[in-house]
Amino acid sequence: MSHTPSTVVTRWLPTVRERLGTRLDLLDLAMGTGRHSRAAAAYGFRVFGVDRDLGRVREARTGSLAYARLWVADLEEVTLPRERFDLVICTNYLQRSLWTSLRETVRPGGFVIYETFTVAQRARGTGPRSPDHLLQPGELRRVFSGWEIYHLEEHDTPTAVAQTVARKPAERL
Structural contact between residues 31 and 50, judged by C-beta atoms closer than 8 angstroms = yes
Mean pLDDT within 26-30: 97
Mean pLDDT within 100-108: 95
Which residue range(s) make up the domain with 20?
7-167
Q: For residue 53, is it within any domain?
A: yes
DSSP 150: E
Q: How many CA atoms lie within 13 A of 10 on its CB side?
A: 8
Domain CATH code at residue 153? 3.40.50.150
**Overall number of domains in the chain:** 1
pLDDT at 15 over 80: yes
Q: For residue 1, is it within any domain?
A: no
Collapsing DSSP to helix, strand or coil, 141 comes out as: helix
- C-alpha torsion 103→77→96→114, nearest 10: 50
Q: For residue 110, is it within any domain?
A: yes
Q: For residue 155, is it within any domain?
A: yes
What is the C-alpha separation between 115 and 9, in angstroms, rounded? 9
Mean pLDDT within 12-34: 95
What is the C-alpha separation between 8 and 114, in angstroms, rounded? 8
pTM for this prediction: 0.93
Q: For residue 124, is it within any domain?
A: yes
pLDDT at 157 over 90: no
Q: For residue 172, is it within any domain?
A: no
Residues 6+ apart with CB under 8 A from 21: none
Q: For residue 173, is it within any domain?
A: no
Q: For residue 2, is it within any domain?
A: no
